[in-house]
A and B are shown apart, each in its own frame.
Chain A
Amino acid sequence: AQSVSQHNHHVILSEAASLELGCNYSYGGTVNLFWYVQYPGQHLQLLLKYFSGDPLVKGIKGFEAEFIKSKFSFNLRKPSVQWSDTAEYFCAVSFYNQGGKLIFGQGTELSVKP
């Protein structure tokens, strides 16, 4: 079965530190890739998405992600985090060979210290 892995369960950073959250997926041919963010007590919101084209994708709030097809990875990055980035981050992958089924990673909780 297809799967999505986020290796960091909980990341703690100080403000202004750089962030990189890992996301890997199992081989499955053509995919669409998403990062969602869930602020405390809220629902999930789309941060960014990749369908095709430039593998470096820019999203909202200064986040970006890079699709590396050879590594089956879609890591999320931000050069300088803020306290307001404290949230849980979910990677999600839609596999074409499963009718577009969207599979979520386990989530990474990010805590940013002021």
Chain B
Amino acid sequence: EAQVTQNPRYLITVTGKKLTVTCSQNMNHEYMSWYRQDPGLGLRQIYYSMNVEVTDKGDVPEGYKVSRKEKRNFPLILESPSPNQTSLYFCASSLRTGKSPLHFGNGTRLTVT
């Protein structure tokens, strides 16, 4: 089944404790992206990747890192999480940027205390 898999679904952590949210897609998509969803703000793009080893900042990249060493994986790293990063995070992928619909993962609800 074609899908985007994110883990974990829920994560509670403390300020400053490094964490990684994994994202994997099995559709051989070139484009992958991370979004955060906050009430009243819609989805805001954190980072995106056009292909392996090609990543770029989205609209709200501060406090986040990503890597794209393989086509299928696009982990999101929070080196030193802060409470303002408490949010719902979605990973998404598409065949081509802009022209193809995005396929979304199930989301990761992160709480930073």
Q: Please, how many angstroms separate the alpha-carbon atoms of A9 and B40 in the complex?
A: 8
Query: Are A94 and B90 touching (Cβ within 8 A)?
Result: no
Where the two chains meet, the residues of B that have a C-beta atom closer than 8 Å to any C-beta of A are: 33, 35, 40-45, 90, 92, 96-99, 101-102, 104-107
Query: Are B105 and A90 touching (Cβ within 8 A)?
Result: no
Q: Which of A32, A43, A94, A101 has the most CB of B within 10 A?
A: A43
Query: A91 → chain B, closest Cβ, in Å?
Result: 9
Query: Are A43 and B90 touching (Cβ within 8 A)?
Result: yes
One of A61-69, A79-87, A102-110 at the interface: A102-110
Query: Are A44 and B102 touching (Cβ within 8 A)?
Result: yes
Query: Are B102 and A90 touching (Cβ within 8 A)?
Result: no
Q: Please, how many angstroms separate the alpha-carbon atoms of A90 and B92 in the complex?
A: 15
Q: Please, how many angstroms separate the alpha-carbon atoms of A107 and B107 in the complex?
A: 17
Query: Are A102 and B98 touching (Cβ within 8 A)?
Result: yes
Q: Please, how many angstroms separate the alpha-carbon atoms of A92 and B107 in the complex?
A: 18
Query: A106 → chain B, closest Cβ, in Å?
Result: 4
- Chain A residues with Cβ below 8 Å from B45 are 101-102
A70 at the interface (CB under 8 A from B): no
Query: B31 → chain A, closest Cβ, in Å?
Result: 9
Query: Are B104 and A45 touching (Cβ within 8 A)?
Result: yes
Query: Are B101 and A46 touching (Cβ within 8 A)?
Result: yes
Q: Please, how many angstroms separate the alpha-carbon atoms of A5 and B84 in the complex?
A: 24
Q: Please, how many angstroms separate the alpha-carbon atoms of A58 and B6 in the complex?
A: 30
Query: Are A32 and B42 touching (Cβ within 8 A)?
Result: no
Q: Which of A9, A43, A95 contacts B104 (CB 8 A)?
A: A43
A99 at the interface (CB under 8 A from B): yes
Q: Which of A42, A45, A96, A107 contacts B42 (CB 8 A)?
A: A107
Q: Which of A44, A92, A99 has the most CB of B within 10 A?
A: A44
- Chain A residues with Cβ below 8 Å from B90 are 43-44
A-B contact pairs, 26 of them (CB 8 A): A6-B42, A9-B40, A34-B101, A34-B102, A36-B102, A42-B106, A43-B90, A43-B106, A44-B92, A44-B102, A46-B101, A46-B102, A90-B43, A94-B97, A95-B98, A96-B98, A99-B97, A99-B98, A100-B97, A101-B97, A104-B43, A105-B42, A106-B40, A106-B41, A106-B42, A107-B43
